[in-house]
Structure 1
Amino acid sequence: MISLLINNQIVNKHIRDARSLIATQDPNAVSAAIGVLDGVLALSPRLEAALELKARSLLFLRRFREVADMLQEYIPSYRVCSAATGDESSSSLSSSGSGRVVWESREGAKLLPKCEDGDGGSRCFSILDIKRKVIAGIHRACDREGQWRYLILGQACCHLGLLEDAMILLQTGRRLASASSRRQSTSHSDDTFTFSPFLPPFPSTNPKTNTNPMTSSLHPSKPPSFFSESASTLLPHIKLLLRRRAAATSALDAGHPNEAARHFSKILETRRGTPHPFATSCLIGRAAAYRAAGRVAESIADCNRALALDPTSIPALLTRADLLESVRCLTDCLRDLDHLKLLYDTIIRDRKLPGPVWRPLNGEIRYRDVPSSLRALTARINGIRQRFAAGEGNNVDYYKLIGVRRGCSRSELERANLVLLLRHKPEKAGAFVDKLDFSDEDLDVDAVRDQARMSALILYRMLQKGYSCIMATVVEDEVVEKKRAVAPPVYQGVFCRDMAAVGSMLSRAISVKYEGLTC
């Protein structure tokens, strides 16, 4: 008993120290507070106050991955995926899945344990009614304490690109907050989005404007208005991105690739930063749209951007390898396929799919399909190497790469080349990085820019070489045509002279001998 009291005193002291460090809003102090809270959680792993303070501190420092690792069992798609596949936690269910997945995650995933409120309509005085009311009050307090999981995890999922999960979590947190407010005051309508003073406001995740107080739990008299403003702007942005991606996917399925590419471009060029994992999937989708439209260079460029953001993206590697093989650029195709083979070997060696367990791969690959995919990939690599040894590697189809027909004119070639060179300049290749929201603190943004520039430079040189080869052919055709126009009409002249001779012969009088016939 004495040791329990001592532990409680130590825990309370550490909690007070952590709150004091958090109150400074200094990143170094907040990091120190996380260390203090880790010590508290070592003594009391389920202490709600310590868990909440640690989650808010991680969110303040933009360490979204650690928030997701800490609360991964509350991510809807992860819970549904784990329940559906058991050990294969990386099955076809994804946060970027269809509306059916969202509906299943809404209906099937119990995010937090909730109990029904007690019924206060009884008129009889009974011990059972009093007990029911007391238990209902306890459960309401538990629900109020658990609201922070929805709110913190919802914003972390948004920055990590799990937009469906973020939308479900934030909407659930909003409904719980509204219900809690209505229980406290009947003057609030369903549309009112405010939080009780027991729930501290949401910390700012913008490193440039970290002016949001994280310590309103120490000062409950402050009006908790920040999260209502944050969620009011975050939720519409999430819904807008999801609607545009759904429109792009529908257009691509309906056979309108240019319309799909336009919708994907709106997502990637939005003024508000797009989470970079979500942007990676949109780049892969736009590459598929460009490929369906026959725009090979644009499709390769989007695959380059996606691989700069995520070098282990299997769909991007497969798409770029297919595109390079379609234009008979076998050297670069073999490089991508070898990289893909290394990824498959790593998956088999580690016995897990790449990435964290709470991020499903949208049906891109399942662990049980890796051995068969590896065998097919090995056979494909051997076939391409045989083609390369036969001399096909030097016969690149530059017409398909640039997007012009065979026998095109000089003006058509120059127009297509000018558009491609202006669009794929290496010095502008890293500009898309500035429009993204990077949530991974381990990801080097400068390295992403450098990789994007290097890939763009390779594509740029390939386009220049293709332009030179096609222009040489066009010049040869023009020279032949010019010689044909200048040369004398040999065959026509001979024919005309023959006709003149025949005409003169017809105009001559033919001498006829008349001889008498004698019997």
Structure 2
Amino acid sequence: MQMVERHVREARMLIATKEHSEIAAALRLLDAALAVAPRMEVALEMKARSLLYLRRFKEVVEMLQDYIPSLKMAISDDASTTSSSDSASAHLSREGASLLSSGGGSEPACTCFSVSDLKKKVISGLFKNVEEAGQWRYSVLGQACCHLGLMEDALVLLQTGKRLATAAFRRRSNSLTDDIFSSINHPFSGDNHEPKRPPKTEFESISRLLCHTKLLIRRKTAALAALDAGLYAEAVRHFTKILDGRRGAPQGFLAECYVHRASAFRSAGRIAEAIGDCNRALALDTSCIDALAIRATLFESIRCFHDSLHDLEHLKLLYNSIQRDRKTPGPVWKRQKVQHREIPGKLCSVAAKIQQLKQRLASGETGGLDYHALIGLRRGCSRSELERAHLLLMLRHKPDQSWNFMHKCEFADEKDVDSVRDGAKMSALVLHRMIQRGYASLMAAILEDEAVEKQRNNAAEGNTSFQGVFCRDVGNSLSHTRFNHPIPLKYEALSC
């Protein structure tokens, strides 16, 4: 136990330096201490705060995943479905045990205690309440969840931690007298208690993070409500406020918003924008099932069967891995909308769709792409409409600016930046070439129609007969036959 205390003491000194290398060394000491005493609260708190300071949010969540609200609810739902038949018997056994224990209790009715022990408990209770033992978990885990995009969980955890801290400080301030009120900031020299109230800077950072989290959740809720109500332009506007906001958002949360905005774009008939949002979502999260499903549907709607088949094959691989491993891709705490019991049905539907597309390709149904739907134009559009739509799409989907959305993204791991940039650039280049081919094809068709119309007008002008007054026609005929001299006329008077 002395070795554990020495490791904790040395780790505290290393953490006080605020140097990344020193904090990494402190983590090694804390791991050694926790290997001997895995439930040591001080070591656990120091390790969690050190990981949070080093921005290793995934390790924080993996360390404290038992306290994530959504994960606890999912586990409880699974447990309730699997053990529903045993609940009645367990309830009866608990009631029987309580009835048996009420008659002959093992504890005596009255116990002897020491006054000195009671005094120690009262004094220690002034500085450490039993309810505050795990208070740091809410604030640390809430910050980590927020940076990983688990915004709803972060909101619950941060609010709970802030409420517990405020209530604990109020209880301590009410129970202390004027003589010992100042001892909160200056504990006894023989005690190794940590300050119960975090520094003011931590309170301020948590408050700012909580306000930003509330704003993002509020805008997302409004956008989803507009999407459900069929107000697709309004939903796009709300999601754009999140995605193009002045303050960034976590990687996972942005990927989810891109998927929802792609769904709104698809419902509004803006295929190119929807494909672009799916590309960004897949660049941020390569195993995003919703983005793959939406993009496959979009490619099929414009008769791009090869790309649709590629996305469906990728989707099938994900479903097969989920069914084989009996868990969704990624860590346990990562939120997935698909449930394991839904996988067999989805796998059958994807396999049927793949077979259907393969049959269409084998039968030679590889006609030209529906570029009108891709660019968002009606059939028979004018040249000005095509040029305007093409200009807007080129401004939004430039390959050299395809990774600009990354400036608004807060990455949980800096190693993901290069892979996200490469994926975004590659998919944007494919979309850019598709739009360029569509523009060239539609412009060629418009030019051909204009040439045919011009030729038809010229032919119509050549076939028109000249019509005029009789005298003018006679004069023109005489002038064309060079009868320019005057015709002599003889006037004779008639006598009666």
Rounded Cα–Cα distance in structure 1 between residues aligned with 2:460 and 2:291: 57
Task: Summarize the alignment of residues 382-401 of structure 1 with structure 2, pairs less than 5 Å apart.
Answer: 382-401=355-374
Residues 197, 223 of structure 1: 8 Å contact kept: no
Residues 149, 253 of structure 2: 8 Å contact kept: yes
Rounded Cα–Cα distance in structure 2 between residues aligned with 1:390 and 1:307: 31
Partner of 1:174: 162
Task: Summarize the alignment of residues 221-236 of structure 1 with structure 2, pairs less than 5 Å apart.
Answer: 224-236=199-211
Are 1:307 and 2:282 matched, yes or no? yes
Partner of 1:62: 55
Which moved further from structure 2: 234-243 or 31-40? 31-40
Residues 301, 459 of structure 1: 8 Å contact kept: yes
Rounded Cα–Cα distance in structure 2 between residues aligned with 1:277 and 1:368: 24
Residues 197, 224 of structure 1: 8 Å contact kept: no
Are 1:22 and 2:10 matched, yes or no? no
Any idea what SS the aligned residue of 1:58 has?
helix
Are 1:9 and 2:9 matched, yes or no? no
Task: Give the number of aligned pairs.
Answer: 426
Rounded Cα–Cα distance in structure 1 between residues aligned with 2:200 and 2:296: 51
Residues 280, 310 of structure 1: 8 Å contact kept: yes
Partner of 1:39: 32
Rounded Cα–Cα distance in structure 2 between residues aligned with 1:25 and 1:355: 32
Residues 276, 439 of structure 1: 8 Å contact kept: yes
Residues 169, 197 of structure 2: 8 Å contact kept: no
Rounded Cα–Cα distance in structure 1 between residues aligned with 2:238 and 2:455: 50
Partner of 1:433: 406
Q: Which of these residues, 293, 297, 307, is aligned with residue 322 of structure 1?
A: 297
Residue identity matched to 2:395:
L
Partner of 2:434: 462
Residues 249, 409 of structure 2: 8 Å contact kept: yes
Residues 328, 392 of structure 1: 8 Å contact kept: no
1:465: Cα distance to partner?
Answer: 0.2
Compare CA radii of gyration and give the structure with the larger one: 2
Residue identity matched to 1:460:
H
Q: Kindly tell me: are residues 239 and 181 of structure 1, through their superposed partners in 2, closer, same or farther at Cα, counting changes over 3 Å? A: same
1:389: Cα distance to partner?
Answer: 1.9
Q: Kindly tell me: are residues 223 and 464 of structure 1, through their superposed partners in 2, closer, same or farther at Cα, counting changes over 3 Å? A: closer
The sequence identity of aligned pairs, in percent, is 53
Rounded Cα–Cα distance in structure 1 between residues aligned with 2:366 and 2:410: 40
Rounded Cα–Cα distance in structure 2 between residues aligned with 1:58 and 1:26: 13
Rounded Cα–Cα distance in structure 2 between residues aligned with 1:141 and 1:167: 24
Any idea what SS the aligned residue of 2:460 has?
coil
Partner of 1:96: none
Partner of 2:101: none
Partner of 1:482: 454
Any idea what SS the aligned residue of 1:353 has?
coil
1:187: Cα distance to partner?
Answer: 12
Relative contact order higher in (CA < 8 Å, ≥ 6 apart):
1
1:377: Cα distance to partner?
Answer: 1.0
Which moved further from structure 2: 425-434 or 174-183? 174-183
Rounded Cα–Cα distance in structure 2 between residues aligned with 1:241 and 1:356: 24
Any idea what SS the aligned residue of 1:86 has?
helix
Structure 1 residue ranges, 4+ long, deviating more than 3 angstroms after superposition = 130-140, 196-199, 217-223, 488-494
Any idea what SS the aligned residue of 1:393 has?
coil
Residues 128, 196 of structure 2: 8 Å contact kept: no
Residue identity matched to 1:185:
S
Any idea what SS the aligned residue of 2:269 has?
coil
Q: Kindly tell me: are residues 135 and 85 of structure 1, through their superposed partners in 2, closer, same or farther at Cα, counting changes over 3 Å? A: farther
Are 1:295 and 2:278 matched, yes or no? no
Residue identity matched to 1:162:
L
1:39: Cα distance to partner?
Answer: 1.1
Are 1:403 and 2:403 matched, yes or no? no
Q: Kindly tell me: are residues 197 and 433 of structure 1, through their superposed partners in 2, closer, same or farther at Cα, counting changes over 3 Å? A: farther
1:460: Cα distance to partner?
Answer: 0.3
Q: Kindly tell me: are residues 469 and 430 of structure 1, through their superposed partners in 2, closer, same or farther at Cα, counting changes over 3 Å? A: same
Are 1:277 and 2:252 matched, yes or no? yes
* CA shift digits 1:171-201 (9 cap, x unpaired): 111111111111122499xxxxxxx7599xx
Residues 282, 292 of structure 2: 8 Å contact kept: yes
Rounded Cα–Cα distance in structure 1 between residues aligned with 2:81 and 2:50: 32
Q: Kindly tell me: are residues 34 and 198 of structure 1, through their superposed partners in 2, closer, same or farther at Cα, counting changes over 3 Å? A: farther
* CA shift digits 1:326-368 (9 cap, x unpaired): 000011111111111111222222221112112221x3x1112
Q: Kindly tell me: are residues 61 and 38 of structure 1, through their superposed partners in 2, closer, same or farther at Cα, counting changes over 3 Å? A: same
Are 1:156 and 2:144 matched, yes or no? yes
The TM-score, its normalising length taken from structure 1, stands at 0.77
Residues 14, 26 of structure 2: 8 Å contact kept: yes
Residues 75, 165 of structure 1: 8 Å contact kept: yes
Residues 331, 393 of structure 1: 8 Å contact kept: no
Any idea what SS the aligned residue of 1:404 has?
coil
Rounded Cα–Cα distance in structure 2 between residues aligned with 1:240 and 1:160: 17
Partner of 2:388: 415
Rounded Cα–Cα distance in structure 2 between residues aligned with 1:400 and 1:131: 79
1:32: Cα distance to partner?
Answer: 1.4
1:223: Cα distance to partner?
Answer: 7.8
1:142: Cα distance to partner?
Answer: 2.5
Which moved further from structure 2: 28-37 or 67-76? 28-37
Any idea what SS the aligned residue of 1:392 has?
coil
Rounded Cα–Cα distance in structure 2 between residues aligned with 1:261 and 1:221: 45
Rounded Cα–Cα distance in structure 1 between residues aligned with 2:19 and 2:211: 31
Residues 327, 397 of structure 1: 8 Å contact kept: yes
Rounded Cα–Cα distance in structure 2 between residues aligned with 1:352 and 1:384: 29
Partner of 1:380: 353
Are 1:445 and 2:438 matched, yes or no? no
The TM-score, its normalising length taken from structure 2, stands at 0.80
Rounded Cα–Cα distance in structure 2 between residues aligned with 1:35 and 1:399: 60
Q: Cα RMSD (Å) of the superposition?
A: 3.1
Any idea what SS the aligned residue of 1:408 has?
coil
Give unmatched runs, 5+ long, in structure 2.
83-112, 177-183, 471-496
1:288: Cα distance to partner?
Answer: 0.5
Residues 284, 303 of structure 1: 8 Å contact kept: yes
Q: Kindly tell me: are residues 27 and 218 of structure 1, through their superposed partners in 2, closer, same or farther at Cα, counting changes over 3 Å? A: farther
Task: Summarize the alignment of residues 97-176 of structure 1 with structure 2, pairs less than 5 Å apart.
Answer: 137=125, 141-176=129-164
Partner of 1:82: 75
Residues 64, 156 of structure 1: 8 Å contact kept: yes
Residue identity matched to 2:392:
V
Residues 223, 236 of structure 2: 8 Å contact kept: yes
Residues 34, 40 of structure 2: 8 Å contact kept: yes
Residue identity matched to 2:145:
C
Which moved further from structure 2: 291-300 or 31-40? 31-40
1:140: Cα distance to partner?
Answer: 5.7
Task: Summarize the alignment of residues 317-396 of structure 1 with structure 2, pairs less than 5 Å apart.
Answer: 317-361=292-336, 363=337, 365-396=338-369
Any idea what SS the aligned residue of 2:129 has?
helix
